[in-house]
Structures are given as C-alpha cells and as structure tokens.
Structure 1
Amino acid sequence: MSLSKGLPPHMRHHRQQLIPGWRQDRISHARLGIVGDGPYPASFFLAAASALGARRFLIICPELHEPFVTLAQTLEPAVEWIHLRGWLTHPAPAALLTPCSALVDFSQLGLTNKILFNTARQHCIPLITVRFLNAPCKSGFRFWSYSPGNETALIHAMVSERSLSAKAWQDAATAMAAAGLALEEIKRVLFGQPHTTVPVDYVRPNPRTSFDNFRVAVVGAGALGNFAAATLALCGCRHLTLFDADRVDVTNLNRQIFFARDVGSPKAPALAHRLNTFFAVQAQGIPQAVDDYTDLSPFDAILDCVDNFETRRLLSLRAQQEGKILISGGTGPDRGQVVAYHPHHSRHTPAQLLGLDRILSRRQREGGKATSHKRLVKERAVHHDTRWKPPLENTAKEGASCLLQADPSVVMSNQIMGALMADALRRILSGEPPGLIFYESMELHGVRLMSVTDTEAQL
C-alpha cells in the first residue's frame, strides 16, 4: 500500500500548486499517449508524470524499464495505463490514441513518426516530438512541439531518416533529460501556454569513459540528488555515496520519485537502498550534512545537489583545495543550471561563477535575512527548493500554515538538470568540459537550453 493513500490529495502536490497559474485538475484528468522504441525515455517519462499527478496513459512501446514502472505505481496509486507491447508501424493502432489529450513521440522510426504526425494533424492533438540524435562522434536529442501551420518548416526534422531499422535510445542521461523536457512541454500544453515550436537541441561528443572504480559523492539526496544519482547508476557508476541530513516529507513526493514508501525515513540511506535494489550498484547513504570536517578524500568527484548557498560555497572551496571534480546544479520551478568544475582546467569554481560570496556577504550585512527566490535569480544563481520539514506526525494537523512557508518546486526541472549533471560528469571525464548549462521554460516563448563557457558567464 502506498503511503500516499488516505492523505488529502493536495498534500503531495502542494509544492507545485504554489506555482502561480497551476492547474492540478488538468494534469490529473489528462490522458497521455506515449510511443517509443526502447524502455528508457518512455519509462522515465511515466515515473515523473506519475509524480506530477498524471493518472491515465496509453503506451505503445516494445518494453518498459521495470524499476520506473514500479515507481509510477507507487507514486500515484490511482494510475491507470494500457501498455501495447510492440512498435507503432500501422495506422490502425494509432486510432487508440485519438482520445488522448496530448501525444509524446520518443520513437526513432520514420514510419512511426509519420503515423503520429498524421494522427495529431487529423485529430488536432498536441504532439511533442523527441528525437535521439546519434552520429559516429556526437549524440544527444532534439525536442519541439507540433502545432498547426508549422508543418512545412519542420517536417524534415520531425521524421527520422530510417523507417524501420533505427537503434533504440540506450543512453540513460540524454533519455532522462529529454523525458523531463517532454513532461514540461506536456504541462505547457495542458495549461494553455505557447508551444515550443523552435527545435531545442542538446548535442555533445559521445562519452569516451567508463565509471569502473570511480567514486562519486552526491551531496544532497533530494530532488536533484534523486535524478543525478539514478542517472549515474544507469550510466554504469557503481560506487556512490550520498550525504543528506534530512528526512523524507510528504511534500517531497511530487519530485523525489524514489521515496514514496519512505516518508519519515532519512533520505540518504533510503535513496541508497532504492538504487542498490533497482540498479545493483554499491551505494551508501550517510544521514549527515557535509561540513568542514567531512572526509572527501575517497571520492574522485562531487555532485553538489544541495539547496543552500553556504554548503554550495563550501563544496566549491573544498573541491578547489583538494583537487576534486565538482558538478554543481540548481533548480527553480521553471529553470535550472549546471556548472562543471575541473581542478586542472577550469578557471573558476561554481561559487565564483555564481557570485555566492557577494550574495552571502550581503545577507550578513542585512542581518542574515533570507533572500527571496526572485532576487536570487537576478543575481544569476538559481535557488534550489528550500526545504520545509515538519515532524511526520504533525504534517496532517499543521497542514496549510506550515505548507505555505515552502517554496514552489516541481519534478521536471529537477529531472532535466539532474540528468544533465550526470552527463556533465561524463563529459568532463571524456575531456570535453561542458561549461555552464542553463535551462528555462519561459511563459511566452517555450523551453530553452543553452550552454556557455565560464569565461562568457563572467562577462
């Protein structure tokens, strides 16, 4: 039995319902059609959409990744789906998709792309297309939405070159990020916001490294930590150590997808257990925060998934002093950033690039008062969700008064940026530093991804 049963419906989704204009009813009443060739992107989308509160799915795909199916069922007990096992290669099964509120095309088969395009056009169904880009030296994805009137401009980009012999999407990091972008676009469609009609590309050189005997410290086991650690595990990183002093709260479950059965438990050991169970890795969870005295010498790299600037600045300093690779991530409800630091190649630490010393010094001058999310964004630093953690037994009775102290937070930005944090580590180990990666979902102009060098960020 899921711990979500018996709780008021608003509690698990309260953090996203704080976002202005949020319409949870449109998510819970939507029927989503998902089409794919392989297990990764469709399964990642299913689990995150279930955390968001979507309940009805029609999936056409040869297979799904079982751990993420289990997560979907646990996160949303009312979830219902029909799974047709196979490839969409004939228009007849596509008729089952016509009642859907929106369609997501993860397929790499040109014939499937054409069938879905015609179905969407004939029945006026929004279509989100995500294409795996795979060349001999580079790979990544392309993402956009179909809307009436832009068929001519995008038809060549919408249809894969190969009709039936395309390779399934097997890269977990790009599949995870692309699934998060597709879910963000679904939210935009359901809320009546403008579609992303300009293709969004994420392309980088193919990783040339393995994680054999590579040891990673993931500092923060919340939303970013969930997705970054899971993506690393799926990419072959077996030795993970998770640091977090916090406990799982009901309001975490709209974005921290591994914790549906762990409300009240320490986050780090709970996440380590799920990773070990699902992905056969050797993760360890330490229910403590990282401070000046934490021994980081056993680790080859650090992933900064924390939600406060003090710890983020400390991790930058420790990485610089001890010669550690550091991947720092941050998210807001509609944006995110990844900053990669290599001690031998990077000019600036994440704290220096984001101006954290300036921000924290100003806080001290102002008497230590918390800085608003909007103001921090203007300081070019994305503020990860500030945690509100009442004791579990007080959650129901204290309810709204405490919940309103929390910041808005949602699954998509954490899924996208957590996956790109894992990919940034692979890129830096392959000798191709990613610089800074920024994501934003703008109300009027759709979704954007952008990369800049650390020199450009200083200008």
Structure 2
Amino acid sequence: MKPKAHFIAPELLNPTNPIEVCLIGAGGTGSQVLTALARMSHSLQALGHAGFQVTLWDDDIITDANRGRQLFAECEVGLPKAVALVTRSNRFFGTGWKAINRKFDSHSGNTKAAIYISCVDTVTARFEIAEVIRGNNNSHYADLARYWMDFGNGKDAGQIVLATIGNVKQPKSDKFEAVESLPFVTEEFGELLRQSETDDDAPSCSLAEALEKQELFINSALAQMGCSLLWQMFRNGMTTHRGLFLNIADFRTVPLPV
C-alpha cells in the first residue's frame, strides 16, 4: 500500500506576489511564529520565491509578565503586542507586514489570506476562527484560502494541526496516495478540545506566575516544529505529516500522519 501524502496547492509554489498569511495571536507562540515566518519568507525569496505578506492580529498589551516567555524589552511594556512585534520584524527584514490591534473574530471582515495560522489560548476562539475562515473563503484563485495551521498548548505539552480549507486538487503520483483534504482541528478533535477547556485564562501578574501556567520553552518548541512543517511543504512541494503532538516534560514527539 502506498504511503499517504498531501501535495501543496500549486499556486503557492511559484506565486507572482507574496502569499497572504493571516497570523492570529501574538502571545508566547504567535510571537515566535512571526519571527520564524520572517526567516522563512527571507529564505524563500533568496530561492526565487515571492515570500509572504503577513498580517498579525492581536488585541493584547505587553506587560512585565510577558517578558521572558516572550521577547519583549522593558521599553515596550504598555505597547500593543502586534504593533511592537511587526514593527520590529519590518525594521529587521525590510518587510511591509501589517499589525491589527484587535481580536480576530466574526467582525473582522474578509481577510483574504491563503494561509491562516492560529496561536490562541481558548477553545472558543478556535471554533470562532473556523467559522470566520469558512465564511471568508472565496472563488478568486489569487487569494483562495488554502490552509489553516493551529497551535495549541498547556503547561508542558501541545499540538500542531494543519488543515486544508476545502479540497486541494492533487496530482497523480506513482509513489504516494495523494490526499486532497485535511480536517480542521475543530472537526477532528472538537470533543477533546471542549473537554480540555478551562476557565483560567486570566492574565498573569508576574513572570513567575506565568511560568506556573506554561513552561518557558513549550511555545518556542512548538513554533519551530510547526514552521518546520510549513517550510518542508514549500521546499518539497508536499508533506507526509499534518502536525504533531509534543510533550517537553518527557521530550516526546508523536507525528500526526496525513
């Protein structure tokens, strides 16, 4: 039996313009994902690709408790997270990425992104994002919504799930069984998400308190592995995995195959 694989949407491999990416959440994971996307975009451009055009959504403000787990300076305390992060990235890489200092929800309008990446804290936010993505999908080829990658974590464990938005037409392959549809995290693990939801999403007052809720390196570990999956899709044009489960307490990773 042939192994299963998903081949990336063909218009993303050699686009005329930078690929629109909607990054939702600028917290512990989202801030690290933004930096990884900037490195990836710069590297893709060096290889002749158009790279990414990222819009970062977050309505939070930087506090002292964010410093340490997230790379914010003392002088940035009090600034909107999205604005501080995107401004820094634009200055460093010379990009023209955008920051939107508000929550991504049903009132966000048509985002017109090819790739959505969510790094949010609550289950409710994930289900709302799923509805927005379905509503924003359109028939225009140039900005057709194609993928949703969701990052989620607890204290020392987390997961990454890559999904297609609709079906992605697959080429014929003698080596692989091409899979055109990858399920949303809210569809495949919806019941587990609801069962795992807690009411304790209040902001931490100090870094020490924040570290009681989440280990120092769980966010960066997830960000690097998730963006590595995205990078491999662009470099190889395909993937045999659609995510993973990670536990840094016992250094265990379980891949999620296509």
The TM-score normalised by the length of structure 2 is: 0.72
**SS, match of residue 317 in structure 1:** helix
Residue in 2 that maps onto 1:217: 22
Residue in 1 that maps onto 2:187: 352
AA partner of residue 76 (structure 2): D
Cα pair 1:435 1:452 within 8 Å, conserved: yes
Structure 2 residues without counterparts, runs of 5 or longer = 1-6, 42-50, 138-144, 168-179
* 1:256 lines up with 2:70 in the alignment: yes
2:161 pairs with one of 339, 346, 363 = 339
Cα pair 2:105 2:132 within 8 Å, conserved: no
Cα pair 1:327 1:424 within 8 Å, conserved: no
Aligned residue pair count: 215
Shift of 1:310: 1.1
Q: What is the alpha-carbon distance in structure 1 between the residues aligned to residue 74 and residue 121 of structure 2?
A: 21
2:148 pairs with one of 303, 326, 346 = 326
Residue in 1 that maps onto 2:198: 371
Residue in 2 that maps onto 1:424: 229
Cα pair 1:319 1:325 within 8 Å, conserved: no
1:358-399 residue CA offsets vs partner (Å, 9 max, x unmatched) = 754x79xxxxxx7278xxxxxxxxxxxx3506xxxxx6xxx7
Structure 1 pair 300–315 and aligned structure 2 pair: CA distance change class (3 A): same
Shift of 1:448: 1.4
Q: What is the alpha-carbon distance in structure 1 between the residues aligned to residue 82 and residue 210 of structure 2?
A: 24
Q: What is the alpha-carbon distance in structure 1 between the residues aligned to residue 209 and residue 215 of structure 2?
A: 15
**SS, match of residue 34 in structure 2:** helix
Q: What is the alpha-carbon distance in structure 2 between the residues aligned to residue 272 and residue 299 of structure 1?
A: 17
Residue in 1 that maps onto 2:253: 449
**SS, match of residue 121 in structure 2:** coil
Q: What is the alpha-carbon distance in structure 2 between the residues aligned to residue 450 and residue 359 of structure 1?
A: 18
Q: What is the alpha-carbon distance in structure 1 between the residues aligned to residue 218 and residue 210 of structure 2?
A: 21
Q: What is the alpha-carbon distance in structure 2 between the residues aligned to residue 437 and residue 210 of structure 1?
A: 27
Residue in 1 that maps onto 2:122: 308
Shift of 1:271: 0.7
Cα pair 1:427 1:434 within 8 Å, conserved: no
Sequence identity (%): 21
Structure 1 pair 259–328 and aligned structure 2 pair: CA distance change class (3 A): farther
**SS, match of residue 76 in structure 2:** coil
**SS, match of residue 439 in structure 1:** strand
Structure 1 pair 293–283 and aligned structure 2 pair: CA distance change class (3 A): same
Residue in 2 that maps onto 1:167: none
Q: What is the alpha-carbon distance in structure 1 between the residues aligned to residue 128 and residue 229 of structure 2?
A: 20
Shift of 1:256: 0.9
1:392-441 residue CA offsets vs partner (Å, 9 max, x unmatched) = xxx6xxx79xx869861233111111122223333445232532211112
Matches within 5 A, 1:402-441: 408-429=213-234, 430-432=237-239, 434-441=241-248
Structure 1 pair 313–251 and aligned structure 2 pair: CA distance change class (3 A): same
1:229-255 residue CA offsets vs partner (Å, 9 max, x unmatched) = 100100114411110011011111121
The TM-score normalised by the length of structure 1 is: 0.42
AA partner of residue 388 (structure 1): P
Higher relative contact order structure (alpha carbons within 8 Å, sequence separation ≥ 6): 2
Residue in 2 that maps onto 1:268: 82
* 1:281 lines up with 2:76 in the alignment: no
Q: What is the alpha-carbon distance in structure 1 between the residues aligned to residue 211 and residue 124 of structure 2?
A: 19
Structure (1 or 2) with the larger CA radius of gyration: 1
AA partner of residue 123 (structure 2): F
Structure 1 pair 244–330 and aligned structure 2 pair: CA distance change class (3 A): same
Cα pair 1:340 1:433 within 8 Å, conserved: no
* 1:388 lines up with 2:203 in the alignment: yes
Q: What is the alpha-carbon distance in structure 2 between the residues aligned to residue 219 and residue 353 of structure 1?
A: 20
* 1:245 lines up with 2:59 in the alignment: yes
Cα pair 1:226 1:258 within 8 Å, conserved: no
AA partner of residue 113 (structure 2): F
Structure 1 pair 406–413 and aligned structure 2 pair: CA distance change class (3 A): closer
Cα pair 1:254 1:410 within 8 Å, conserved: no
AA partner of residue 325 (structure 1): Y
Structure 1 pair 213–425 and aligned structure 2 pair: CA distance change class (3 A): same
AA partner of residue 257 (structure 1): L
Q: What is the alpha-carbon distance in structure 2 between the residues aligned to residue 220 and residue 433 of structure 1?
A: 27
